[in-house]
Amino acid sequence: MDYYKQIFKRKSFHIFKDTDKLTGDEIQELRDFIKTVKPLNAEIKTEICIVPEKDTTCKRGGEFCILFYSETKDEYLRNIGYMGEQIDLYLASQNIGALWFGIGKPKDIKVNGLDYVIMISIAKMPVDKFRKDMFKSKRKPLSEIWNGDALKIAEIVRFTPSACNTQPWLVKNTGCELMVYRFKKPGKRGIMPADKVRYYNKIDMGIFLFVLETCLEHENFTYERTLFADTTDDSVERTLIAKYSYCK
């Protein structure tokens, strides 16, 4: 699976139009792929289900929803984001449109003792509906999300998807380490409900870490990852969540 290539193609489908039906084989292939997804923390129990969109409160024209369930252990949100982005990029490779849908609810809030976290709505889309020029997407300027040598990856990493396009990350390259922060200016939250900012931004950071690692590997960097607990509240501007010691 060439995740890097799909970064340039994927897009968020806020409304699904002109959709096709997913075949039984495509659904089975998706289920098989989900079994191969690697977690950020293998000690956190998770379960991923596929249900018809009509069985959720998501009404965006999708055919199915991928539901994520997890133990509510430390860093479970980051773990779900990391796993979910692998699926997001796989979907793009199969011409399946995707929408991370944070406010949706499934019928089952618990599955096998695990709590519902978030969903991705999906539908089969014509290939010409996917992104043709990623660089036209609205993102923060590089100077706001990356300090130090860009390593030929920062310009790609900044297109990582996030809830309400909040892009809650900051990377400082010290010359041998990438220090990754969850970043939030106090009082800044866009259209997101204040009590949900940290919840979704923690998921976003898991998405970001997977895209960052994908770009590092594409540029033939080797790295050692150290993760840190994300325990600060929204009054703190920067929270260190990961360190990547790298070499080439």
**Confidence at residue 21, expressed as pLDDT on a 0 to 100 scale:** 96
Confidence category of residue 88, pLDDT binned at 50, 70, 90: very high
Q: How far apart are CA 4 and CA 228, in angstroms?
A: 25
| Lowest mean pLDDT across 97-101, 135-139, 183-187 | 183-187
Question: Could you report the per-residue pLDDT of 21-41, keeping only the tens digit for each?
Answer: 999 999 999 999 999 999 999
Closest among 168, 76, 73, 181 to 118, alpha carbons compared: 76
- Helix locations, the chain, DSSP H: 3-7, 24-34, 76-93, 142-145, 154-157, 197-218
Closest among 185, 231, 193, 220 to 75, alpha carbons compared: 231
The DSSP annotation for 51-82 comes to EEGGGBS--SS-SEEEEEEE---TTHHHHHHH
Number of other CB atoms surrounding residue 91 within 10 Å: 22
| Lowest mean pLDDT across 131-135, 161-165, 178-182 | 161-165
Phi, psi of 203 (to 5 degrees): -65, -45
Question: Could you report the per-residue pLDDT of 189-235, keeping only the tens digit for each?
Answer: 555 677 788 899 999 999 999 999 999 999 999 999 999 999 887 77
Token pair for residue 116?
A: 């519902």
Question: Could you report the per-residue pLDDT of 168-180, keeping only the tens digit for each?
Answer: 999 999 999 999 9
Q: How far apart are CA 6 and CA 94, in angstroms?
A: 10
pLDDT of 128 strictly over 80? yes
Q: How far apart are CA 207 and CA 84, in angstroms?
A: 7
User: What domains sit in the chain, N to C, each tagged with a CATH number?
Assistant: 3-129 (3.40.109.10), 138-247 (3.40.109.30)
Token pair for residue 239?
A: 């929270």
**Confidence at residue 189, expressed as pLDDT on a 0 to 100 scale:** 54
Residue type, 233: D
The DSSP annotation for 194-213 comes to GGGHHHHHHHHHHHHHHHHH
**Confidence at residue 235, expressed as pLDDT on a 0 to 100 scale:** 78
| Inter-residue contact 50 to 12 (CB < 8 Å) | no
